[in-house]
Structure 1
Amino acid sequence: MSSEPQNLLFIMSDQHNRDMLGCSGHPIVKTPNLDELARQGVFFSNAYTSSPICVPARASLATGRYPHTIGAWDNAAPYTGEQASWGHRLTEQGVPVTTIGKLHYRNTTDDTGFPDQRLPMHVSNGVGDLYTLVREAGIPIKETVPRKLILGAGPGESAYTKFDRAVTSRAVSYLREEASASGKPWVLVVSYACPHFPLIAPREYYDLYPLEDVIFPKQYGLNQRPMHFVLEEYRRLSGLADELDEADIRKAIAAYYGLCSFMDAQIGEVLSALRESGLDKTTRIIYTSDHGDAMGEHGLWFKSTMYEGAVGIPFIIAGADLPKGTTVTDNVSLVDCFPTILESAGVQLKEEDSDLPGTSLLRLARGEVAPNRTVFAEYHAAGSITGFYMLRDEHYKYIHYVDYPPQLFNLKDDPDELEDLAGDPSYEDVIRRFEEQLAEMLDPQEINSKAKKDQVRRLNAHGGREQIIAQGFKVPFTPAPGVP
């Protein structure tokens, strides 16, 4: 069944853990607007990022390609438009695209396929986070900025909450004043910075979650958490190899819950404006995030790992011509956005798009099945001493670490990823099958080497390894434009 061209409202958040939604079954987090969107549409319960860190994930989303195929290794390799985006395809065929909020590309002047950027947030100084380029064991730690971000959690306003309120205001104005007057289908991207750190939630949302009620992270304790060397080094570099006080952990989680609810409220205002403008019957809506956040689970924080909290993402599609209240359990990926958006807008893929790895999710939303579909993710960025890759099929998740032991989880029987099966001889055939499947896609050693060589090149271009290490994290997250 083909889709009639319609408007598309593409809403994106930053660092939203897939479980932190009412429609995901979370017993505490309040997200009434996204829950209602899921009731009016299709919720994809097994959606994944292609890389659990901002800049590579967003470059992959834009191009529909995996980070290793476009050199989007880390947060200092922003998208520049050299590889065609879905924005290029839409604008080439006369579909206007407006973006409001965070894109995390290099700048506003590159031809990224998104000429109408409002309140754009791009990487710092057009360069991004250079510290992410230093990838080796034993790096001396100058500052434990990640640890400070967790200990600083609490109520209040941050530049990011102010920025997101401004994004909402601009989006509401667009829907009321511009979209309703448009004579042809349009695409509007509304992209928020929350619930990304800092963990500062507006008081009314923070107070929704008494500290004693928040859910303590699973496998957090030193005697519980997995001690894989790559993960241990990531914890050390984050200044989080020990155990934080329970009160600090609960404060951080309450603030994250609050930011999820704050972000949901912003989305509610945008969806209300869409309905009030009479455009809801002719507009499809997509909600997703670039990656998740582990929030203490398995003794890990932030993104940058292949556990579900970091690599899983929320994904909802709704529209008048789509099923309502449906959950799709097939595995899907951010790379599916490119063909999905084009089909929704009635725009054809070009010949050079024939090798895109994704598929349109409109078909899956309408009941077409993709049995045992395997999705892929990769990581070559901050805190990783080696490259690692994830393959997730119907039952298992396999994580391949270059030069280090793999991990294997049976997500059907162990959705919380509490038991690593990689050391169990009875699973050797499963691991071998995944190794062969990964080898068909890429050479892990070769890609790891390619990434690190490119990172050394960029380190040298910006003063060298020692200078970047001495500087440490200049800014722990991208400044919000126009917000003090």
Structure 2
Amino acid sequence: MSDTPMNVLVIMSDQHNPKLLGAAGDPLIRTPNMDALAARGTRFANAYCASPICVPSRAAFATGLYPHRTGYWDNAMGYDGAIDSWGHELQRAGRRVESIGKLHYRNAEDDTGFDAQHLPMHLKDGIGQVWGSVRDPLPRRDNAPLMVSISGGADSDYTRYDAAVTDRTCDWLTDPVHSTRPWVLYTGLLAPHFPYLAPPEYFDLYDPDEMPTPTMRPEHGNLRHPWVETFAGVLPGLDNANTDAERRRAAAAYYGLVSYLDHNVGRILDALEASGQAENTLVIYTSDHGDMVGSRGLWGKSLMYTESAGVPLIMAGPGVPAGAVCETPAGLVDMYPTILQAAQVGSTGTARPGRSLLELAATETDPHRVVFSEYHAMGAPSAAYLIRKGAFVLHHYVGYGPELFDLATDPAQTQDLAGRTEYAHVLDDLEKELAAILDPIAVDQQAKTDQAALVERFGGPAAAAAIGTPGETPPPALPA
């Protein structure tokens, strides 16, 4: 690595299923720019978010700490700067650090570690989806089929916002004022987050009739885990009221949004090259979580399956192995030490669980490294936890039986091994790894206690269940 601080460009999309990437082997998706980034850098093949929903995931990305360490449990509890972010560390060291686009923190007024926020997108009215904090009883959301039925080829407020964020990022990168001292720039794009509406030229890249059949759908005889079935019964993501044609159209729109995202990533990377700073800039592309895209009869996020809890993660720049694939499990909490190492800024605060991706990329695969994710938000009857170690992944549901998968032989997670005696030692090992991180039951109770207190501040469960945007957070108004 260079003896001088690198610039760091972080591009974070929203809800990108890690499997839908050309570099990851998908034969249908068209992502030439992200594939080219992977070809000149390292792709982390087994990367996970800290919580498969926007606000807690982004709080963990900012702080390098898991939700159970911070109390940012759900989409009504936005990051407010109370815990130091990597941005605060950079500011203390005198680094320029700015953001453009979606952050999804509490609001733009809180000190969250940026010298400037351009076109920022945060929780609506600073409060977010209060209804998602109602855990007892879980409120049913009867607009579930709309997420799939309202789809196709069209521009939306989301795609127009992404175009504006991309324009602003390109202008920022090519402004000569930003070539005078090292910087860290974060860009947040919305695609491929629903609404599943892709600009027509990108929707037209994919024939709905040629969309692959999603795996593990209930009508194909696949029983969903009881925790997942409870979740599916109360939240958007159900698609049993949709037609097959609607599902295929929604999938084609999602693919189109991924290609639209790729187009914007390409524009940003071209601007970086034009700025003359590419040779001294570490570029990281990732997403805050994934999307089920119809697998198991579900859409959106919130689940521990790879489609939802997994994230794409690509890094390229000085000293990063080119054309490499790192199989060591990684997570978004690793971004904190990565950004600081690249900027040559030391951490002065709380010890954090992450490890620099620069170090992971430079070393042999670590079969013993553990990555972790947790979920306590909308639709969850109890806490859900994920432990990934080597090829095995555990889904631990408080009050329910676990799931265990061997991703080396079963990447689609079709065979639950949790009840097989020959895998009892693996299950026991992963449960011990989970217990070393937290007390599953105590953390579940703490999340529910904190959420109940928030709900009471909004007038109790009946009142709180009607507060907050029913679906996607609206983007900010764009300058005329």
Cα contact 1:145–1:473 (8 A) shared by 2: no
**Distance between the aligned counterparts of 1:436 and 1:322, measured in 2?**
34
Structure 2 counterparts to residues 419-430 of structure 1, below 5 A: 419-430=415-426
Deviation string, structure 1 residues 377-435 (Cα, Å, up to 9, x no partner): 00000111100111011121111111111111111111110011112233222222222
**Distance between the aligned counterparts of 1:456 and 1:178, measured in 2?**
50
| Aligned residue in 1 for 2:435 | 439
| Aligned residue in 2 for 1:185 | 182
| Aligned residue in 2 for 1:155 | 153
Find out whether 1:230 has 2:227 as its counterpart.
yes
In the TM superposition, residue 140 of structure 1 has moved relative to its aligned partner by: 5.3
What's the secondary structure of 1:162's corresponding residue?
helix
**Distance between the aligned counterparts of 1:109 and 1:78, measured in 2?**
12
Look up the equivalent residue of 1:78 and give its one-letter code.
Answer: G
**Distance between the aligned counterparts of 1:282 and 1:224, measured in 2?**
53
2:264 aligned residue (257, 263, 266): 266
What's the secondary structure of 1:77's corresponding residue?
coil
| Aligned residue in 1 for 2:332 | 334
Structure 2 counterparts to residues 53-132 of structure 1, below 5 A: 53-132=53-132
In the TM superposition, residue 222 of structure 1 has moved relative to its aligned partner by: 2.7
Look up the equivalent residue of 2:87 and give its one-letter code.
Answer: G
Cα contact 1:17–1:312 (8 A) shared by 2: yes
Look up the equivalent residue of 1:482 and give its one-letter code.
Answer: A
| Aligned residue in 2 for 1:478 | 473
1:219 aligned residue (216, 221, 230): 216
Query: Which is worse superposed, 229-238 or 27-36?
Result: 229-238
In the TM superposition, residue 3 of structure 1 has moved relative to its aligned partner by: 5.9
**Distance between the aligned counterparts of 1:225 and 1:4, measured in 2?**
54
**Distance between the aligned counterparts of 1:202 and 1:60, measured in 2?**
31
**Distance between the aligned counterparts of 2:412 and 2:241, measured in 1?**
20
Contiguous gaps of at least 5 residues in structure 2? none
What's the secondary structure of 1:375's corresponding residue?
strand
Cα contact 2:151–2:253 (8 A) shared by 1: yes
Distance change >3 Å, CA 365–CA 144, structure 1 → 2: same
**Distance between the aligned counterparts of 1:472 and 1:337, measured in 2?**
33
**Distance between the aligned counterparts of 2:19 and 2:156, measured in 1?**
24
Structure 2 counterparts to residues 266-285 of structure 1, below 5 A: 266-285=264-283
Cα contact 1:15–1:293 (8 A) shared by 2: yes
| Aligned residue in 2 for 1:48 | 48
**Distance between the aligned counterparts of 1:122 and 1:23, measured in 2?**
31
Find out whether 1:384 has 2:380 as its counterpart.
yes
**Distance between the aligned counterparts of 1:99 and 1:474, measured in 2?**
24
What's the secondary structure of 2:117's corresponding residue?
strand
Look up the equivalent residue of 2:474 and give its one-letter code.
Answer: P
TM-score of the aligned structures, taking structure 2 as reference length: 0.96
Deviation string, structure 1 residues 233-273 (Cα, Å, up to 9, x no partner): 11111362736321111101000000000011011111111
Query: Which is worse superposed, 459-468 or 220-229?
Result: 220-229
**Distance between the aligned counterparts of 1:166 and 1:140, measured in 2?**
36
**Distance between the aligned counterparts of 1:136 and 1:294, measured in 2?**
25
Distance change >3 Å, CA 3–CA 420, structure 1 → 2: farther
What's the secondary structure of 1:107's corresponding residue?
coil
**Distance between the aligned counterparts of 2:222 and 2:4, measured in 1?**
49
Cα contact 2:327–2:365 (8 A) shared by 1: no
In the TM superposition, residue 472 of structure 1 has moved relative to its aligned partner by: 6.6
| Aligned residue in 2 for 1:298 | 296
Runs of 4+ residues deviating >4 angstroms: none
Find out whether 1:465 has 2:461 as its counterpart.
yes
1:418 aligned residue (414, 420, 426): 414
Cα contact 1:145–1:476 (8 A) shared by 2: no
Look up the equivalent residue of 1:284 and give its one-letter code.
Answer: L
Cα contact 2:389–2:430 (8 A) shared by 1: no
Deviation string, structure 1 residues 349-369 (Cα, Å, up to 9, x no partner): 11x33x210001112222354
**Distance between the aligned counterparts of 1:203 and 1:212, measured in 2?**
17
In the TM superposition, residue 223 of structure 1 has moved relative to its aligned partner by: 4.0
TM-score of the aligned structures, taking structure 1 as reference length: 0.96
**Distance between the aligned counterparts of 2:82 and 2:214, measured in 1?**
41
In the TM superposition, residue 4 of structure 1 has moved relative to its aligned partner by: 3.8
**Distance between the aligned counterparts of 1:390 and 1:300, measured in 2?**
19
Distance change >3 Å, CA 140–CA 282, structure 1 → 2: closer
What's the secondary structure of 2:217's corresponding residue?
coil
Deviation string, structure 1 residues 434-477 (Cα, Å, up to 9, x no partner): 222211111111000000011010001012101123x2763411
**Distance between the aligned counterparts of 2:447 and 2:235, measured in 1?**
22
Look up the equivalent residue of 2:183 and give its one-letter code.
Answer: W
Deviation string, structure 1 residues 207-233 (Cα, Å, up to 9, x no partner): 000112211211113343332221111
Structure 2 counterparts to residues 305-384 of structure 1, below 5 A: 305-350=303-348, 352-353=349-350, 355-384=351-380
Cα contact 2:148–2:242 (8 A) shared by 1: no
**Distance between the aligned counterparts of 2:299 and 2:122, measured in 1?**
24
**Distance between the aligned counterparts of 2:96 and 2:307, measured in 1?**
35
Look up the equivalent residue of 2:168 and give its one-letter code.
Answer: R
What's the secondary structure of 1:409's corresponding residue?
strand
What's the secondary structure of 2:396's corresponding residue?
strand
What's the secondary structure of 2:11's corresponding residue?
strand
Look up the equivalent residue of 1:248 and give its one-letter code.
Answer: E
Deviation string, structure 1 residues 23-64 (Cα, Å, up to 9, x no partner): 111111101110110111111111110100000000000000
Q: Percent identity between the aligned chains?
A: 44
| Aligned residue in 2 for 1:24 | 24
Distance change >3 Å, CA 304–CA 40, structure 1 → 2: same
Look up the equivalent residue of 1:230 and give its one-letter code.
Answer: W
| Aligned residue in 1 for 2:36 | 36
Cα contact 2:128–2:468 (8 A) shared by 1: no
**Distance between the aligned counterparts of 1:166 and 1:452, measured in 2?**
38
Look up the equivalent residue of 2:387 and give its one-letter code.
Answer: L
What's the secondary structure of 2:144's corresponding residue?
helix
